[in-house]
Amino acid sequence: MSVFLSRFKQLIMSISYQERRKKRLDEYNTRVAKLKGMQADELMFEYISRKSECMFKKGIFSLFVVAIALSAIFNLWDRFFVFIEKSIRYSLDIQTENPEVARVCFILATSIMLILTVFIIILLLLMARDVKSSEYDLMIIESVQDRH
């Protein structure tokens, strides 16, 4: 029973701000110690590599955001639903006895669009988090370079 309580307490503490901060501080100190152990040339190489990686990630993220903005501006979602509406009308003209086909087409199209939208939002959040992480690492390297 005490093992369960111990693990439960550990789980609760890992969620708390103090524990997350402590863990991040330990990771920061480990990273700084590793960077301080590098030669000046090696540190410069690390900086340049990380800087170019960060710039690339920002460029890809910007391109992705612009593509999404353009699709919103040109109202691609609306055009997709107009296409679905036309296909439903066409299917109703062909099969007047069975309106169930039109309902299934609409539900399928709406589900696909909803899944696609959620996927794009998750992808944007992951990309933004990756850019933030790269910038954070770059700032650590810059602070070590200034002290070096």
Selected residue with higher pLDDT from 72 and 132: 132
Q: What is the pLDDT of residue 50?
A: 93
Q: What is the pLDDT of residue 70?
A: 84
Q: Kindly report, residue by residue over 69-126, the tens digit of the pLDDT.
A: 888 777 777 777 787 777 777 776 766 566 676 677 778 888 888 898 899 899 999 9
pLDDT band for position 66 (cuts 50, 70, 90): very high
Under 8 Å between Cβ of 35 and 141: yes
Selected residue with higher pLDDT from 9 and 45: 45
Average pLDDT, the chain: 84
Give the C-alpha separation, 9 to 24, whole Å: 20
Residue (of 102, 113, 105) closest to 80 by Cα position = 113
Place of tokens 């890809």: 60
Selected residue with higher pLDDT from 79 and 53: 53
Q: Tell me the percentage of the chain whose pLDDT exceeds 70.
A: 91
Neighbour count for residue 35 (Cβ, 10 Å): 20
**Torsions phi, psi for 64 (to 5 deg):** -65, -45
Place of tokens 């110690």: 33
Q: What is the pTM of this model?
A: 0.69
Give the C-alpha separation, 129 to 138, whole Å: 14
Give the C-alpha separation, 48 to 37, whole Å: 17
For 92, the token pair is 């109703």
Q: What is the pLDDT of residue 141?
A: 92
Q: What is the pLDDT of residue 105?
A: 75
C-alpha gyration radius of the chain: 26
pLDDT at 12 over 90: no
Q: In degrees, to the nearest 5, what angle opens at C-alpha 55 toward C-alphas 52 and 59? A: 140
